[in-house]
Structure 1
Amino acid sequence: MYLKSLNLQAFRNYTAQTVHLTAPKTILVGNNAQGKSNLLESVALLSTLKSQRASSDRELVQNEAAMGQIRGDLERITGEIELEIRLRRSGRRTVLVDRQACRRQVDFLGLLNVVEFSSLDLDLVRGSPDDRRRWLDGLVIQLEPLYAHLLKDYSQILRHRNALLKQYRGRSQASDEAMRSVLDIQLATAGARVMRRRWRAIQRIAPLAQRWHQEISGQTEYLSVDYAPQVRDIPDFNDAEAVRQAVLHQLRDRHPAERHQGTTLTGPHRDEVMLSINQTPARRYGSQGQQRTLVLALKLSELQLIEAVVGEPPVLLLDDVLAELDLQRQNQLLETIEDRFQTLISTTHLGAFDAQWLKSSQVLRVCSGKIETPETVHPTLGAS
């Protein structure tokens, strides 16, 4: 797949900007806080409808505008597709495919596949379990867009159940128990669907990550990527009913503690992804170099897995990440990309790229929400 052009209207610091992507690799160069990350964020939104840096659409739309817009022209094996998101400061966003509004947002997902790699991802290892769950859920959505709908269903049931537990915290009524019994079954059913897809994704990506990690580390370390569900005693993840029953049993077993604490203590919202190097938890004992090698191996594995499942290479977004990697890891990443994946890279200088890379790349300067075309870029661009 290839993203041919991008049009931004009242998005972040872009008032009105059109970018034509004319090479397999596009390098966005400029000082910090000029809009490089904003442009990559817009591409990620066209893929996942989520931003790593914003919690609401209000943050994405310029202050003086009521609505912002992101539009992209995508070329796939099956033909060309126009994707559009209309963001409103107040009210619900609209997503369109070929200028037709989608009834459900899930119908928009899966049309553009991306792998994001930014300095924020380097916290994947040392961050919280929520960071790793978010990474895993994002991967599953790329592989199976319907998962976004399943995840939303689970979250809605969980909120309803937590509200009930909070309302009746510390006491029990017959009506409360009857309602909770219904919610137990609903949560177990929805939770089992989420857990089985998470488990399946880990089974697919773990061996790929192990191979990449050994190659990058020079065969000196062994990486383990394991799904660690909070629900115990699951005999077989391939058996949907067995998973559902395991969740339901543990939910019922935790009723007394939940009644006391006023919150749901069982389910995939408490899952963990265990990352270990030589059987040692990377989060606690891995050096900074080891942690960066691990994250790089995961990102390269995402590229490989999505391409295998989708049948087309995804678009790779690298947001100022080269500065965070040493020379060996930079070279490993750049050699893997070559011209196989369309890549958009943000950087403050061009020193990390050799002459051959620059020759085969489109270089754009970003300055205060405006993008200069390749023809207007000064030859001394790398000096900034």
Structure 2
Amino acid sequence: MYVRHLQVGQFRSWESADLALTPGPTVLVGRNGQGKTNLVEAVGYLATLSSHRVSSDAPLVRHGATQAVVRAALRRDERELLVEVEINPGRANRVRVNRAPLPRPREVLGLVKTVLFAPEDLALVRGDPAERRRFLDDLLVSRTPRLAGVRSDYDRVLKQRNALLKTARLARGNALATLDVWDGHLTELGGQLLAARLRLVADLAPFVADAYAGVAGPGADRAALGYSSTVPLAGTGEPVDPDRLLPGDGELAAALREQVAERRTDEVDRGVTLVGPHRDDLVLHLGPAPAKGYASHGESWSFALAVKLACFALLRAEGDDPILVLDDVFAELDTGRRSALAEVAAGAEQTLITAAVAEDVPAALRGTRVEVADGRATVLSADTPRPIEVPSD
């Protein structure tokens, strides 16, 4: 799949932008602050309904506007797909596919697949567990879109249960009886989410090991993944064993239920849910030690890059060729890491690259260049495909 044409309106710094794109590598070049990252962020939003830079939709809408629009014509083999998202902070977003509105915005998830590598991804190695949980769940949804509903329902139940726990100390009788009902919802959904995460970590781990070896070179420590959970059955953080038989949804839900019962008193005292996938972590191992706290700056960059290359390889192995988005990363990488990334990027169906200086991008990836300056994005090379067909209301 590739984006044939991208339009944005009132998105970030852009009042409007209309950009024809082609398969293969495209480099968006411009000084910092000109809006090149905003354009690839719009493509990523179509894939995840979220931004890799901010946690809410409000900053995505241009100052003074009430709504932003992202519209893209996408090609998959000989078929074309038109996807449009209206971003409405404080109100429900709206999504249309081939001019038809979707009942729920999350139904668009899975139609567009992207793998993004950006400087912010260093947080996968050095950041808080929340960064790694978000990474896992976004990849889960890209791989299996129906899990978007499971994740959304789990978050809703968790919010309701936390609200109930905050009042349980003052009204123990009725509150605790109601809490049992929410426990059932939490453990059922949590079991499904845990099972999916464990399967993903097991499937991703070999790709991470291979990618890290390629990026870091001969003699480097081996990279591995582990899963650390508040439910011991789900993992204690040790590197995954590819031969291990993974527990299923039901087993994990039962184990989660036991942990919830065991921590009930602590949860009531503290007014918060202490057990569940929302408290877990993806553990990155480098040789005998966790990467966080032990990896050097260069090793951390290599690991972050390896994780994203592994995501690309996993999705491709499963039959998808995701759009690869490289946001201002080549200036941060040394020659070896640039070469490893360029080799993968050159083979992707479409790679979108941003750079302040064109010379930072390896020569093999400079096929199409888009100059971004003064509120305009101008294609300097490559054939221009036909314009996007804008759906009428």
Q: TM-score, normalization: structure 1?
A: 0.93
Structure 1 contact 106–146 (Cα < 8 Å) conserved: no
Match of 1:184, SS? Answer: helix
Structure 1 contact 27–345 (Cα < 8 Å) conserved: yes
1:1-384, aligned counterparts within 5 Å? 1-77=1-77, 79-169=79-169, 173-220=172-219, 221-234=221-234, 237-309=246-318, 311-358=319-366, 361-374=367-380
Structure 1 contact 133–273 (Cα < 8 Å) conserved: yes
More displaced, 227-236 or 138-147?
227-236
Match of 1:80, SS? Answer: strand
Partners of 2:187 and 2:23 in 1: how far apart?
48
Structure 1 contact 224–279 (Cα < 8 Å) conserved: no
Letter of the 2:357 partner, please give it. Answer: H
Partners of 1:228 and 1:87 in 2: how far apart?
35
Partners of 1:268 and 1:371 in 2: how far apart?
42
The structural deviation recorded for 1:172 is 6.0
The alpha-carbon distance between structure 1 residues 115 and 243, as it changes in their structure 2 partners (threshold 3 A), is: same
Structure 1 contact 13–368 (Cα < 8 Å) conserved: no
The structural deviation recorded for 1:22 is 2.5
The root-mean-square deviation of aligned C-alpha atoms, in Å, is 1.7
The alpha-carbon distance between structure 1 residues 355 and 275, as it changes in their structure 2 partners (threshold 3 A), is: closer
Match of 1:283, SS? Answer: coil
Letter of the 2:335 partner, please give it. Answer: L
Partners of 1:214 and 1:22 in 2: how far apart?
32
Partners of 2:180 and 2:363 in 1: how far apart?
65
Equivalent pairs: percent with the same residue? 34
Letter of the 2:321 partner, please give it. Answer: P
More displaced, 57-66 or 44-53?
57-66
The alpha-carbon distance between structure 1 residues 184 and 78, as it changes in their structure 2 partners (threshold 3 A), is: farther
The alpha-carbon distance between structure 1 residues 215 and 176, as it changes in their structure 2 partners (threshold 3 A), is: same
Partners of 1:307 and 1:178 in 2: how far apart?
48
Partners of 1:175 and 1:227 in 2: how far apart?
36
- Deviation per CA, 1:187-206: give whole Å up to 9, x if none: 10010011111111101100
Match of 1:338, SS? Answer: helix
- Deviation per CA, 1:354-382: give whole Å up to 9, x if none: 44432xx1101111331122159xxxxxx
Partners of 1:355 and 1:190 in 2: how far apart?
48
Match of 2:369, SS? Answer: strand
Structure 1 contact 23–362 (Cα < 8 Å) conserved: no
More displaced, 158-167 or 332-341?
332-341
Structure 2 contact 338–362 (Cα < 8 Å) conserved: no
Partners of 2:213 and 2:112 in 1: how far apart?
30
The structural deviation recorded for 1:47 is 1.0
Partners of 2:250 and 2:90 in 1: how far apart?
42
The structural deviation recorded for 1:346 is 0.4
Partners of 1:252 and 1:320 in 2: how far apart?
47
Letter of the 2:267 partner, please give it. Answer: E
- Deviation per CA, 1:292-328: give whole Å up to 9, x if none: 111111111100111122x131001111011111111
Structure 1 contact 25–339 (Cα < 8 Å) conserved: no
Partners of 2:280 and 2:315 in 1: how far apart?
23
Q: Which residue is equivalent to 2:242?
A: none
